[in-house]
Each structure stands twice: as C-alpha cells, then as structure tokens.
Structure 1
Amino acid sequence: MKKIGFLSFGHWSPSSRSPVRSAADTLLQSIDLAVAAEELGADGAYFRVHHFARQLASPFPLLAAIGAKTSRIEIGTGVIDMRYENPLYMAEDAGAADLISGGRLQLGISRGSPEQVVDGWRHFGYQPAEGQSEADMARRHTEVFLQVLKGEGFAEPSPRPMFPNPPGLLRLEPHSEGLRERIWWGSASNATAVWAAERGMHLQSSTLKEDESGEPFHVQQAKQIRAYREAWKIAGHGREPRVSVSRSIFALVNDQDRAYFGRDRDGDQVGVIDNMRAIFGRSYAAEPDRLVEELRRDEAIAEADTLLLTVPSQLGVAYNAHVIEAILTHVAPAMGWR
C-alpha cells in the first residue's frame, strides 16, 4: 500500500486562455480540488509555497479552509521556506489550522528554493547571524519551530496579566498535540536527509536533487531515502518514519491527455541551481500499461511510502481531478498501491 496525494504549485496567469487568472481563482480552486481528491479516494492534498510570485504563498488560511471542508484527506505543504518564517507565529498558525482539520496537517518545511527576488527573506525582516548562511538561518528557525511545537512552557507570565494564567511558564496557544510528529523536511542532498532524520522529521524528496554520484536521478534518490532511514534507526525515534517523493505522472487515457502530454518523453536533466549541480527527475506520460512498466523501474518510488502527483493546476479543477482519478484507477492497482 502507498499513500497517493497531489502537489500543486498554485500558479495563476491573467491570460484570457487560463482558467486560473487570479490569486482568488487559485485559492478557491485549490479548495475545490482537495475536496474532489478526497471524494476520489486520494490520500493527500499538498501545496507549494513561493513568495513574490503568482503562486500560492502564505499556506495556513488555505490549509484551514480545506480542513474545514474535508474530513479524511491529509493536508500539507511541500515546502514552506523557513528563511522567511517567524517560527513562533508559524507555530500558532499551524496549531490553529491543525485543530480545524482534526489533526490532519502534514507540514513540509525546508531551507527553500531559488527565489523570484534577491534575498527575499530580508524584506520579511530576517537576516543570517554573523558568520552564518541563509541555510543556517533556515535551520535555526526550524529548530525553534520544532521546540515550541512540543507544547512546553517557556515564557515567564506577567505578574499582572489581563486574564488568569495557568501555573508555571506559558506555552504558545493554540497548541495541537501530535503536530510535532507530522513535520517533514524537504531535502535535496543526502546530508540534509540525515540531518532531518536525526531531528525526527519525515522526509520529502522531490524531483530535484544534488547530483552527488552521476547516477540516474531515481537511483540517487533511492540511496538518499535509504541513508535517511538508517539515520532514523540510529537516532532511536520511537515511531516509524515516512518518506514522500513527487513525480509528474500522466496516464494517457483520452485525446485530451494525449494533446497535453503525449509528447512528454524527457529523461533526467542536469543543471546548476543556487550554485549546486542538480539533477532533475523525468516526467512520466504514457498509456497505462506502458506507464506501469516505466514506474516499476523507478527505485525511489518503490522506496517511498507516499507519492505526490504534481498536477498542472492551471488546467483547472475538472482536468486535475481527472489526472488524479486516472492514476488511482488505471495505475495504482496494477502497481500494488491499492
């Protein structure tokens, strides 16, 4: 069995040809797609976070709205850029959204991705401490976030509070029990995957990874997952780790599918991103029988317990629901995922 969800970047374009022309469109359609995915039997609705772009950004209002309109599906991010976050305020937002959803949040966080603007986190009021990098700052914010999610008191109460306080040091409210154990780290390297395991975070590994060996993308990613699981075992956490991978996968079952994706036959690509030699995983698009054969050769998908389907959000809710349904109906049973 494998959990299957979708991952949306939430793009919009003011083009007259786009069914997603505004921020309001992408937010409302994201809610509708999550509701549709739950009805189809999918397991997760995940959303990317980008700042200064015509894409989804601040995730918690959206996650709370989806939580209020669904009852079963996991709701998450992939990923929140921790360079931009006030970890205490984020913990309050996350706690509220998790309580609204009944404890279904699965929050993916990370150091972040290449930006639309130069050092965008500076506009949010953050900068690395002397001698540290922006990646160090993201990890420092993460450590604080993980600590306050434990729900332990740390703030001295006022001797003259507006309202009566419980005894002892105060914690952030609202606190959602168990959310600390549903935090994921988006990792692009073997080293950061091990770092996440040591801190008891689940692993999100996407379609981009540092090219550390020159091997095919799915082979390197599978090795990363195995290194993560070994580090988790060594750390001695008293629960099972989870691992997700994301893929662009399209089952070509009608003429519309073939028109959109029938020519997608690209393989892995290598490039430089943020001064890192990176390898980008391929997309999959084929008739169901051939698609199953190709997916069976993907070592990283086999290693992961969760698969996130990156959906073409600008094609609208109905078509994206069709993309998800085609995988659940024509591919998942043949792969043994359902």
Structure 2
Amino acid sequence: MKKIGFLSFGHWSAQRGSATRTAGDALLQAIDLSVAAEELGADGAYFRVHHFARQHASPFPLLAAVGAKTSKIEIGTGVIDMRYENPLYMAEDAGAADLISEGRLQLGLSRGSPEQVIEGWRYFGYNPGEDETDADMGRRHAQVFLQMLEGQGFAEPNPRPMFPNPPGKLRLEPFSEGLKDRIWWGSGSVKTAEWAAMLGMNLQSSTLKDDETGEPFHVQQAQQIRAYREAWKAAGHKRTPRVSVSRSIFALTNDMDRAYFGRGGKEDDSVGYIEQQRSIFGRSYADEPDKLIKQLEKDEAIAEADTLLLTVPNSLGVDYNAHVIESILKDVAPALGWR
C-alpha cells in the first residue's frame, strides 16, 4: 500500500492552450484540484515553490486555503527553498497552516536548486556567512526552523507586557504539536539523505539527483532510500520515517491522453550538469494502463517508497488533472498493490 498524491508546480501562462492564464488562476485551481483529489481518494496535495517565476511561490496562504477547504487529504510542499526563508517567521506560518488543517501539513524543505535569477536569496536579504556556501546557509536555516518547531521557550519576556505571559521564556506562536515529525527534506544525493535522517526529517526524493554511480536513475534512487533508512536507524529515532518519490505518470485511457502524452520521447533517463554537478533526470511514464503497470513494476525506487507524488500538468486545467489522478488510482494502482 502506498499513499498517492499529486505535486503541482503551479505554472501559469497567457499562451494559447493554457487553462491557467494568471497567478490567480493557478492558486484558485490548485484549491479546486485539491478538493477534487480528496473526493477521488488521493492522499496528498503538494506544491512546488519557485521564486521570480510564473509558478507557485509563497506557499502558506495556499496551504491554509487548501486546509480550510478539505478535511482528509495531506497538504504539503515539494519543496521550499530554505535559502530564501526566515526560519522564525516560517515557523509561525507553518504553525498556523497546520492548525487550520488540523494536523495535515507535510512540509518538504530543501537547500534549493538553480532559480530564475542569480543568487536570488540576496534580494530577500540573506547572505551566506563567512566560509559558508548558499547550500550551507539553506541547511542552517532548516536547522533553526526545526529547533523552533520543538516549542521550547527562548525569548526573554517584557517585564511589563501588553498582555499576560506564561511563566518562563517565550516560544513562537501559534505552536502546533507534532508538526516537527512532518517535516521532509528534498535530497539530491546519498550524503544529504543521510544528513536528513540524522536530523529526524522524512525524505523527499524527486526525479533529479546527483549521478553518483552511473546506474539507471531508479536504481540510484533506491540506493539513496536504503542509505537514508540505515542512517535513520543508526541515529536511534523512535518513529518510522516516511519516504516519497515523485514521478510523471500518465495512463493513456482516451484520445485526449494520447494527444497530450502518447507521442513518447521520454522513456529513458537523461544526464546533464547543474552547477557543475553531473545530474541524472528520471524518465517519464506514459502508456496504456496494462503496459504502464509492467513498466512501473520495474521501478525500484517506487517500490522502496511509501509515498508517490504524481507530477501534474496543472496548466491543462482542473478537470483534466483530476482525470490524470483518477486514472492512476483506478486503472494502475490496484494492479500494483498500491491500493
């Protein structure tokens, strides 16, 4: 059994053929798709965060709105670039969104990937410290954020406050109990996956990682997941960690599916360079349901994960994306034992 959700980048464009033409369309349609996904029996609604781009950016208003409109589905991110974040303010936003959703928030964080502008975090007022890289800064912000989610008081109270204070030092409010166990780290290597395990974060692994062995993407990703679980065990954490992978998977069940995704061309992994690092990009899946099932049976990383996030083409509209999700839930997942 697996939890199955969707992951949306929230693209919008006024170009011909786009059903998501403005930022308002992207946000409102994201809420509607989350409601539809919950009705279909999906387990999660996740959103990517990109700055300086015509995609989803500030996640917490959207997460809070989805939380208010739904009642069961997990809501989360995949991922928030921590180089851009004030971890204290973020802890307040996260606490509020989690309380609105009654404990359904699943926050994916990361040190970030290349963005639309050069060193965009500097425009947000953040600069790496001495002998620190931007990746180091992102991981430092993440560690401060985790510390805030422990709920321990750290700030000296005003001796003459406007409102009465509880005794002792003050913590950030609103505080949501248990949220710290629902923080994920988006990892692109074995090393950072092990680091996330040490800190007690769940693991998000997407369709991109460092090419560390030259093997097929799904094999390397499965190795990463196993290394993460070994590091988690060595760290002595009490709870069982969660692991998600994301995939572009399309079951071709009608003429529209075939028109959009039936042409092939992405059946193999691809290799490129990101910031001088050789990276491997996982393949997409698009085929008739019976053929798709046989292909997915061979994906070692999906087999290792407990959660699968389906990347959806959000600019094709709510109805079509609900169909994409439903096709996987009904025509593919049962035969693979996911449902």
TM-score (norm 1): 0.99
Q: Note closer, same or farther for the CA distance 1:316–1:309 as it changes in structure 2 (3 Å cut).
A: same
**Rounded Cα–Cα distance in structure 1 between residues aligned with 2:5 and 2:192:** 24
Instruction: Find the aligned partners of 1:12 and 1:99 in 2 and give their Cα distance.
Output: 29
Partner Cα distance (1:16, 1:260) in 2? 15
Shift of 1:160: 1.2
Q: Conserved in 2, the CA contact under 8 Å of 1:63 and 1:75?
A: yes
1:75 corresponds to which letter in structure 2? I
Which residue does 2:318 correspond to in 1? 317
Q: Deviations over 1:205-226 (max 9, x none)?
A: 0000000000000000000000
CA distance in 2, matches of 1:289, 1:15: 35
- 2-structure distance, mates of 1:234, 1:263: 46
Q: Distance in 1 between matches of 2:76 and 2:22?
A: 22
Partner of 2:231: 231
The 5-angstrom pairing of residues 33-112 of structure 1 reads 33-112=33-112
Q: State the AA in 2 paired with 1:240.
A: T
Q: Deviations over 1:234-259 (max 9, x none)?
A: 00101000000000000000010000
Report the secondary structure of 2:333's partner residue: helix
Alpha-carbon shift at residue 17 of structure 1 (Å): 2.6
* Deviation, structure 1 residue 265: 4.0
Normalising by structure 2, we get a TM-score of: 0.99
Quote the residue 2:296 is aligned against: 295
Q: Hey, what does 2:337 align to over in structure 1?
A: 336
Residue identity opposite 1:280 in structure 2: F
Cα deviation, 1:66-121, whole Å, max 9, x if unaligned, reads 00000000000000000000000000000000000000000000001111001000
Task: Determine the structure 1 residue equivalent to 2:279.
Answer: 278
Alignment correspondent of 1:246: 246
* SS of aligned partner of 1:56: coil
- Counterparts of 1:148-163 in structure 2, within 5 Å, are 148-163=148-163
**Deviation digits for residues 19-67 of structure 1 (CA, Å, limit 9, x no counterpart):** 1000000000000000000000000000000000000000000000000
Equivalence for 1:192: 192
8 Å CA contact 1:265, 1:284 repeated in 2 = no
Counterpart residue number, 1:118: 118
1:138-157 alignment runs, 5 A limit: 138-157=138-157
CA offsets, 1:136-164, max 9 Å, x none? 10011011000010100000001111111
Residue type of the partner of 1:91? A
Secondary structure (helix, strand or coil) at the match of 1:263 reads coil
* Paired residue type of 1:9: F
For residues 20 and 314 of structure 2, the distance between their equivalents in structure 1, rounded to whole angstroms, comes to: 8
**1:166 counterpart residue number:** 166
The separation in 1 between residues aligned to 2:19 and 2:260, in whole angstroms, is: 15
C-alpha deviation, 1:274, in angstroms: 1.8
**Secondary structure at the residue paired with 2:32?**
helix
Cα RMSD for the two superposed structures: 0.5
Contact 1:264-1:283 within 8 A present in 2 as well: no
SS in 2 for 1:291: helix
Q: Distance in 1 between matches of 2:105 and 2:275?
A: 30
Q: Distance in 1 between matches of 2:16 and 2:227?
A: 47
Q: d(CA) in 1 for partners of 2:34 and 2:17? A: 23
- State which drifts further: 256-265 or 31-40: 256-265
CA deviation after TM superposition for structure 1 residue 2, in Å: 0.3
Matched-pair contact (CA < 8 Å) for 1:249–1:283: yes
Structure 1 runs not aligned, ≥5 long? none
1:29 aligns to what?
29
